[in-house]
Amino acid sequence: MSTRLPDARGYFGKYGGRFVPETLMPALEQLTEAYEEAREDEGFREELSYYLREYVGRPNPLYLAARLSERLGGARIYLKREDLNHTGAHKINNALGQALLALRMGKERVIAETGAGQHGLATATAAAMFGLECDVYMGTEDIRRQRPNVLKMKLLGARVVPVRAGARTLKDACNEALRDWMASFETTHYLFGSVGGPHPFPVMVRDFQSVIGREARRQVIEKEGRLPDLLVACVGGGSNSIGLFHAFLEDESVRMVGVEAGGRGMTPGQHAAPLVAGCPGVLHGTHSYVLQDEDGQTSDVHSVSAGLDYPGVGPEHSYLKETGRAEYAAVTDEEAIEAFQVLTRAEGILPALESAHAIAYLLREENRPAPDEVVIVNLSGRGDKDAAEVVDILGLEAGEGGRHEQD
């Protein structure tokens, strides 16, 4: 079914499309054509696999989190370790694919939007390696809370362009990157970080990220001799979740849950959960679920996690929600912080606050899997970037606040 989507115009059912100024259409047409050629090209696919293997370190493990499993009542919980990728998150899978495509199109420069900074970091990394000029748009609020990634991007030679408009987060960074691209597309590729935006970004980013699910499916069959019962992944724009889900879409026995940012609760303006609490609308070039007011003005959003702090979501998720193939839930900031601590203490793994949302879903009593079930959680990124923010939120001073003070 859905594995064959989108259609030629970039629609997943009624979601998707291209709602951008005419100025951008030539850029999207060129990109669509270049991507369609590249994905049929054995040489392109081999080059990408080479870098994913030798540079990113794929395949990464599907790790049986034994202590977390025990804590959750005995179901076998596997973590897909995207956090172990070079640069520390799944974002590099897509950044490398698009950087190779940019080279193929003869572009000299890439631009990107970033929230948590993981996509910006992945883009800056690929740009450094391939000798591309790189500008990363980032809201000033995110620059503040994701400082470690800002420093890394600068060291890699990227320019981090502060965005002061609106809420100064991911949505505003997207607006600025789109504007840059409208004036620069002849020399510049917009290396978009998620499965939203106008066609062909949702399908292209999904394809580059679907390596996650292809590996996980093979690995779980090797380890368990069967398919998993449940997949869980966090959803901001939705790229790590689509990446995990895609290879399992036709495996009808596999349930899929996408976990959005419930922020401070489901009051409008206090969360970032368009699939749970939004409605279909148009934002950033695509028709999908979105958080907006009755007029269509984009709502304020909030999440403790900069990577999930976005009012829209990729159109394929809207399609999966509508067809019922995937389910979507939201967990709060507080639950994510709790899950961050649980995983850190139980497994010695610091998850990104984004990924902690997926763990938090399983920690809820009502979502606890049965003891005979097999679950895969996408650990989409590592939590180093969030360490300072979490210490701050928990009121721990660095240098104290160890295990004993906590317990």
Partner 1 sequence: MNRIDARFKDLGARGRAAFIPFFTAGDPAPETTVELLRRVQDAGADVVELGFPYSDPIADGPTIQDSYHRALRRGLRVGEVFDMVRQARDRCELPIVAMASYSLVFRMGMEDFMDRCLAAGLDGATVPDLPVDEAEPFFTMAKERDFRLVCFATPATSEHRRELVIEHAHGFIYYIAVRGTTGERTELPPDLVDNLAALKRRTEVPVTVGFGISRPDQAAAVAGHADGVIVGSAIVKRMAAAANAREDPVETALGFIRTMAAATRETN
283 binds partner 1 (CB under 8 A): yes
Contact 240, 233 (CB under 8 A): yes
Residue holding tokens 């392109």?
A: 44
Catalytic residue among 91, 152, 321, 385: 91
Whether 113 is catalytic is yes
Q: Which is nearer to partner 1, 99 or 177 (CB)?
A: 177
Choose which of 13, 19, 44, 74 interacts with partner 1 (CB under 8 A). Answer: 19
Binding segment for partner 1 among 25-33, 131-139, 187-195, 234-242 (CB under 8 A)?
25-33
Omega before 59 within 30 of 0, i.e. cis = yes
User: By C-alpha distance, which of 63, 69, 60, 61 is closest to 346?
Assistant: 69
Catalytic residue among 80, 82, 107, 113: 113
125 binds partner 1 (CB under 8 A): no
Q: Which is nearer to partner 1, 41 or 186 (CB)?
A: 186
How far is Cα 270 from Cα 5, in angstroms, rounded to an integer? Answer: 33
User: By C-alpha distance, which of 332, 340, 335 is closest to 391?
Assistant: 340
CB of 165 to partner 1, least distance (A): 7
Element (DSSP H or E) covering residue 360:
helix 353-363
Q: For 238-257, b where at least 16 C-beta lie within 10 A, e where not — what string?
A: bbbbbbbbbbbbeeeebbbb
Measured from the Cβ of residue 393, the count of other Cβ atoms closer than 10 Å reads: 15
Choose which of 155, 165, 266, 394 interacts with partner 1 (CB under 8 A). Answer: 165
Binding segment for partner 1 among 51-59, 220-228, 286-294, 384-392 (CB under 8 A)?
286-294
CB of 175 to partner 1, least distance (A): 5
How far is Cα 35 from Cα 119, in angstroms, rounded to an integer? Answer: 20
CB of 272 to partner 1, least distance (A): 15
How far is Cα 316 from Cα 242, in angstroms, rounded to an integer? Answer: 8
Choose which of 71, 86, 147, 179 interacts with partner 1 (CB under 8 A). Answer: 179
User: By C-alpha distance, which of 223, 193, 283, 205 is closest to 59?
Assistant: 223
Q: Which is nearer to partner 1, 112 or 283 (CB)?
A: 283
Q: Which is nearer to partner 1, 23 or 267 (CB)?
A: 23
265 binds partner 1 (CB under 8 A): no
292 binds partner 1 (CB under 8 A): yes
Residue 150 structure tokens:
């800002």
Catalytic residue among 288, 305, 355, 380: 380
Element (DSSP H or E) covering residue 132:
none
Whether 91 is catalytic is yes
203 binds partner 1 (CB under 8 A): no
In a 10 Å sphere around its CB, with 0-12 CB exposed, 13-18 middle and 19+ buried, how is residue 74 labelled?
middle
Omega before 6 within 30 of 0, i.e. cis = yes
Residue 174 structure tokens:
């997207």
8 binds partner 1 (CB under 8 A): no
Binding segment for partner 1 among 46-54, 219-227, 295-303, 342-350 (CB under 8 A)?
295-303
Binding segment for partner 1 among 20-28, 53-61, 258-266, 376-384 (CB under 8 A)?
20-28
Give catalytic residues, as residue numbers: 91, 113, 380
**Chain residues in the site for partner 1 (CB under 8 A):** 9, 17-23, 25-26, 29, 165-166, 171, 175, 178-179, 182-186, 281-285, 287, 292, 294-298
